Amino acid sequence: MVTAATTSAPLIEKHTIGYVPPEDRHGKTRDLFTLWFGGNIAPLPIVTGALGVQMFHLNLVWGIVAILVGHLVGGVLMALHSAQGPQMGIPQMIQSRAQFGSLGALLVVLIAGIMYIGFFASNIVLAGKSLHGVVDSVPVPVGIVIGALGSGIIGIIGYRFIHVLNRIGTWVLGAGIVLGFGYIFTHVQTADFLTRGSFNISGWLATVSLAALWQIAFAPYVSDYSRYLPANVPVAATFWTTYLGTVLGSSLSFIFGAVAVLATPVGMDTMDAVKLATGSIGPLMLVLFLLSVISHNALNLYGAVLSLITLVQTFAYRWIPTAKSRAILSIIILAACCFAAVGASANFIGHFVDMVLVLLVVLVPWTAINLIDFYAIHKGQYDINSIFKVDGGIYGRYNPQALLAYAIGIAVQIPFMNTPLYVGPISEHINGADLSWLVGLIITSPLYYWLANCDTAYKRRLSTAKLANSL
């Protein structure tokens, strides 16, 4: 149904972290499919997907199976977060105050902000390399700045423009990657395309984890892009359009990276392999990926800015952030990332992937707590006014139950970790496979549910939230 809000919604977004009132709601759930499908047809997931055959030495078949399993599992968590957006009408990170308290949520907000700044910096490096690959006369540092400026403009304009670009990108990038697959499969340059690598349990589990963690990494900001939808849209519709878009788009990109690497000689950089494997259409593919990374990277800048605003507003509670505030913070983050990316090492993206694996250890328990609290305990009913109060309102400054479950959720992952900083004994025993994320989810979810239901004060807050929601 077309509403007045749908047709009159301003191109430049005026809201930041505040509640989106019914009169400003617009869009359709199908927009979530195009956002997450088009946004995942990009160089970074292609580079990440290639690791299954490059680093973990799987063959094509087992690499594809691992990629699909990881995305199918991780996509469930990501889409469940997305379905919260229309019900709450506020960004994901500000909503965490309802679980952790106004001050208790700061750690998770800070970690999410750092991660998305890292995503933004990595993507502008890829944009610079892609632009240099298309036009040799453009140095990589200049390409980095151009890519950052393009993403910055999109991010500053905001929510509606991001959705518009990804609706276009879904058709263009979808056709482009299908064309790329067709060219590679008909011009394979290696004799061991199907036989290079083999099944090994540690490599298979590691690839599953990479794919699942790719989805979980979106969790802290996925509902930021559904919060403008009308509050009465079905939860199932929000879930499935997000799930299908993100799983299909990211799986295609991961598999494309693996296919390109196997179709070219051993040892090539992934994006160089893509260019070589796609032959005469290689320049076209690079142009498409360049446009994709610029468009998609706006999401990372947008998410980083909302996280920073949330941090500042926690202490400067009288501050009412505006579109101008969002623009200024976007420019500051953009300039800092350009400076860091231009002077970065050749293995910047590899170091970034390592950083994400470390940060996700502390984000996984947050995902479990947030989803259990929303779906099993509060059932989507929160006191929005309390969330924006300096003392946390009915949710307080700290929620001991959530913080305890969160700390235990991190601790139980340690033996299963495999990161550049630390390799746990169990991970070492299973040849380096990282199962920490799975253990974190399995332990934290029931623990938090039990702790929350044993707390009588929390039950009183729950009744207050239901009463506030009914008024």
Backbone dihedral angles phi then psi of residue 418, each to the nearest 5 degrees = -145, 90
pLDDT tier for residue 1 given thresholds of 50, 70 and 90: very low
Q: State what percent of residues in the chain have pLDDT above 70.
A: 89
What mean pLDDT do residues 234-245 have?
A: 94
d(CA 47, CA 40): 12
| Structural domain includes residue 365 | no
| Structural domain includes residue 457 | no
d(CA 343, CA 322): 32
Q: Between these two residues, 96 and 457, which has the higher pLDDT value?
A: 96
pLDDT tier for residue 14 given thresholds of 50, 70 and 90: low
- Mean pLDDT computed over every residue of the chain: 84
- Asked if residue 402 has pLDDT above 50, the reply is yes
Q: Tell me the per-residue pLDDT of 251-299, one tens digit each, with 9 for 90 and over.
A: 999 999 999 999 998 888 888 888 888 888 888 888 887 888 888 788 7
- Number of domains comprising the chain: 1
- Asked if residue 16 has pLDDT above 90, the reply is no
With beta carbons less than 8 A apart as the criterion, state whether 92 and 222 touch: yes
The tokens for 37 are: 């499908």
Residue found by looking up tokens 């750092």 in the block: 114
3-state DSSP helix/strand/coil % of the chain, to nearest 5: 75, 0, 25
The predicted pLDDT at position 173 comes to: 85
pLDDT tier for residue 464 given thresholds of 50, 70 and 90: low
- Asked if residue 59 has pLDDT above 90, the reply is yes
What mean pLDDT do residues 456-465 have?
A: 61
What mean pLDDT do residues 444-460 have?
A: 81
Give whole-number Cα distances, 219 to 85, 169, 283, in Å.
12, 22, 33
Q: Tell me the per-residue pLDDT of 203-218, one tens digit each, with 9 for 90 and over.
A: 898 899 889 989 988 8
d(CA 70, CA 48): 13
Residues 5, 8, 13, 16, CA torsion sign: negative
The predicted pLDDT at position 245 comes to: 94
Interacting residues of 346 by C-beta distance below 8 A, sequence separation 6+: none
One-letter identity of residue 103: L
| Structural domain includes residue 87 | yes
With beta carbons less than 8 A apart as the criterion, state whether 363 and 216 touch: yes
- Asked if residue 437 has pLDDT above 80, the reply is yes
The predicted pLDDT at position 344 comes to: 65
Of 21-35, 318-332, 373-387, least confident by mean pLDDT is 318-332
The predicted pLDDT at position 150 comes to: 86
| Structural domain includes residue 454 | no
| Structural domain includes residue 203 | yes
What mean pLDDT do residues 425-449 have?
A: 87
- Asked if residue 159 has pLDDT above 60, the reply is yes
What mean pLDDT do residues 126-141 have?
A: 81
One-letter identity of residue 213: L
pLDDT tier for residue 94 given thresholds of 50, 70 and 90: confident
- Asked if residue 244 has pLDDT above 50, the reply is yes
The predicted pLDDT at position 223 comes to: 87
Q: If we measure between CA atoms, which residue out of 384, 452, 379, 449 comes closest to residue 97?
A: 384
pLDDT tier for residue 5 given thresholds of 50, 70 and 90: very low
Of 215-224, 239-248, 456-465, least confident by mean pLDDT is 456-465
- Asked if residue 465 has pLDDT above 70, the reply is no
Q: Tell me the per-residue pLDDT of 67-77, one tens digit each, with 9 for 90 and over.
A: 999 999 999 99
What mean pLDDT do residues 136-157 have?
A: 84
The tokens for 369 are: 């707590």
| Structural domain includes residue 418 | no
What mean pLDDT do residues 410-437 have?
A: 83
pLDDT tier for residue 442 given thresholds of 50, 70 and 90: very high
Q: If we measure between CA atoms, which residue out of 167, 210, 236, 257 comes closest to residue 73?
A: 210
Helix count and strand count (H, E) for the chain: 21, 0
Give the domain extent around 225. Answer: 4-347
Residue found by looking up tokens 């991780």 in the block: 74
Q: Between these two residues, 164 and 101, which has the higher pLDDT value?
A: 101
The tokens for 2 are: 């077309």
Global pTM?
A: 0.85
* Most confident stretch, 93-102, 114-123, 333-342, 367-376: 367-376
Q: Between these two residues, 344 and 139, which has the higher pLDDT value?
A: 139
- What CATH number does residue 103 fall under? 1.10.4160.10
What mean pLDDT do residues 239-257 have?
A: 95
The predicted pLDDT at position 350 comes to: 63
Angle at 255 between CA 361 and CA 267, to 5 degrees: 85
Q: Between these two residues, 454 and 181, which has the higher pLDDT value?
A: 181
Q: If we measure between CA atoms, which residue out of 86, 26, 108, 74 comes closest to residue 213?
A: 74
Quote the distance between the C-alpha of residue 119 and its chain's center: 9
What mean pLDDT do residues 41-58 have?
A: 88
Kindly give the residue spans of alpha helices, DSSP state H, lying in 4-90: 4-8, 30-40, 43-54, 60-82, 84-88
What mean pLDDT do residues 344-371 have?
A: 76
* Most confident stretch, 23-27, 43-47, 323-327: 43-47
Q: Tell me the per-residue pLDDT of 322-331, one tens digit each, with 9 for 90 and over.
A: 777 788 888 8
- Asked if residue 379 has pLDDT above 90, the reply is no
- Asked if residue 471 has pLDDT above 90, the reply is no
